[in-house]
Structures are given as C-alpha cells and as structure tokens.
Structure 1
Amino acid sequence: MLIQLELTSELDITQLRQYDDEYDNEISVLTDICTVLSKNKLNQFKIQAFSNEFWPVDIETDLVVFLEQLPVCIREINLGSDSSIDLYEQGISREILLKFNQGNYNCYGKSHDGIWVPSYAENISQTDLLKMLKTFLDHFLSALKNKHSNKYLVHWLSDNT
C-alpha cells in the first residue's frame, strides 16, 4: 500500500481569504489550501492499494477528504484500534478499512459504487503504517508557511499531535 503526497510548492497561509466563525471551520481552510496546491500540476497525491493501479485521486477534492480524516486515523492506529479512511467523493467512492491484528494492520479496500473491485487485501505493520501516514502529514505541513497564524488550521493541527 502506498499513500503519498509530493508537493513542490509552498503556500503562505496568510495569503488565504479571511474566515468567518459563523460559516467556516477547519475544512474550509483545508479546502482553500488544497485548491491552491492543485493549481501546481507538479504537486501529486497518490494512493496505490489493493491492486497494481494508482487510484484516480486529486488534490483539489480527494486530498481535502483524506486530510479531514487523517488526525483521527493516526490517533486510532497509534492506539492499535481499527480505523478507516473513506474517500467518499464522486469519482473515487472507495474506503480503506484498517483492522488491527497483533501489531499489524490487515487492510481492505471497499468500493461504494461497485465499479472498482479490489484485487487483494494487504498487511502492514502498525509501525510502518504510522510512519507512512505521519510522513504524509509532515509533507503537507512542510508546504505551509505561517501555518500557526490561522486559528482553524491550528485547531486541526492540535488533533494531529
């Protein structure tokens, strides 16, 4: 299983729009960040799991959905609990199911639209899975300048520590 983020550009968070407490939250900021990052075609979000094919994920929509769930997923894996990441957006409609089993994770793919059929399940150690997801998060965060200047992003980051 491969879950990877390659970002060649940085984004200064202070250049994003002003946010309104009544209408905005962490997802608003993540959406704006991913929209800007998606404009650089050298930036790539990759998932290859349960087959030899890369999944048709993109930065503008699928990365937001992935990031939204990443803090909880990292926490659950760190605790040795079952977890999942649901890429529910139209066009992908797949879920990664992570079942803890004696220091390892049995990983399964699930299709929500029946179009994609996983070829096989995968097994990865808890340590390797955590490393992959934390590396993914670190790559995302390293592309953000002045990340602590936005209270919504700070709140989202607090869920990652």
Structure 2
Amino acid sequence: MTSFNVVLVVPLTAELAAEGPSDPDYESVVMELCSRLAETDCVFRMAGFGQEQWPVDIRYDLSTLIEQLPDLLNGLRSNGSVEVDLYGQGVERTLSFVVNGDRVTAACASRTGWMPNPDVEEIDLAELLAMIESVAFEFAKFMRMVWPQCAKTAPFVDWVSVR
C-alpha cells in the first residue's frame, strides 16, 4: 500500500530570467514559476491513499499546492489542523491533516470517480513536515536560480533556510 507522499525535484541549473515576475503578488509569482518549471525536467509526484501515482502536473497542480504551502506548514507546525484543496481537473481531492502529538491523521476526500482506499492514513509528524519542507526548499531553490531578488522575499527566503 502506498502511503501519502509528495516529492519535488527541480533541475540543478536554470537560466536567470531577464526580468522578474510580471506581478509581485504571491499567487502570481507561484503560477509563473510553475509555468517555468513545467518547461524543465522537474519531477513532481504525489501518491497515497491507495494510488501509486496521482494525476498531477507541474503547471497547475504544483502551483495549487505551493499556493497553499504557507498555511499547510503553519498548521502542521502549530499542531493544528489544515486542509489542502487540490482542485485541478482530474485530481479534485481535498487533503485534511490533523496533528495529534507526534502523529498526523491525514484524510483524503475525492470529488471524482476515484475513491481513496484507505481514505485515512496515519503519518509521523516529523516525516510529513520533512516532506513538505523539502517541497518548499526545492521550489525556493529554483526561484533563487531564476529570480534571485524575488527569492529574498517571504515566504521563499524562509523556505531556503528549512534545511
């Protein structure tokens, strides 16, 4: 059985962009950078809840995840509960995370014909945080290569320091 996991591996090198993002708004920056990442050999995978490989793409689904990453990290770090809505066509599932001590109860609700099996998994908090922080680190690393000035702003600058 495949337990929940998410992996992002960005290319080792990237061309410095001639200019920064067209809009400094957080969501716009994330969308633009994901579009750039989609044109590379970047690896982005999600799995779990009985499905070995989720039908995610870099341009849209990674962007959706990264847009919600600050809330996800804050929720996990504050021992609270948090949801991530992967609303992209074909994926359409909501992940709910509830921290209980050093464990996290993760639930997956699908809005497609695919049904998670199981629909609830238990994950070690440290392991889940390391996985999510790795995604944040990789994203910020790519930003530093493409838009170094933008990478010096929050939350991206904080993501570089998680390792």
Same topology, TM > 0.5 = yes
- Give the TM-score normalised by the residue count of structure 2: 0.83
Q: Which amino acid aligns with 2:7?
A: Q
Structure 1 residue ranges without an equivalent (≥5):
none
For 1:99-131, what per-residue CA distance to the aligned partner results, in whole angstroms no more than 9, with x for missing partners? 222321011111123x11000121112111111
Counterpart-to-counterpart distance in 2, 1:36 and 1:18: 11
1:57 aligned residue: 56
1:7 aligned residue: 10
Structure 2 residue ranges without an equivalent (≥5):
none
- Give the TM-score normalised by the residue count of structure 1: 0.84
1:30 aligned residue: 30
Which structure has the higher relative contact order (CA within 8 Å, separation 6+)?
A: 1
Return closer, same or farther for 1:52/1:107 CA change in 2, 3 Å cut-off: same
Q: Which amino acid aligns with 1:46?
A: R
For 1:11-69, what per-residue CA distance to the aligned partner results, in whole angstroms no more than 9, with x for missing partners? 4564355535xxx51111111111111012x2121000101421000000001100000
Q: Does 1:118 align with 2:111?
A: no
Task: Calculate percent identity across the aligned residue pairs.
Answer: 24
Q: Which amino acid aligns with 1:118?
A: P
TM-superposed CA distance for 1:147, in Å, is: 4.3
2:65 aligned residue: 66
User: How many residue pairs align between the two structures?
Assistant: 155
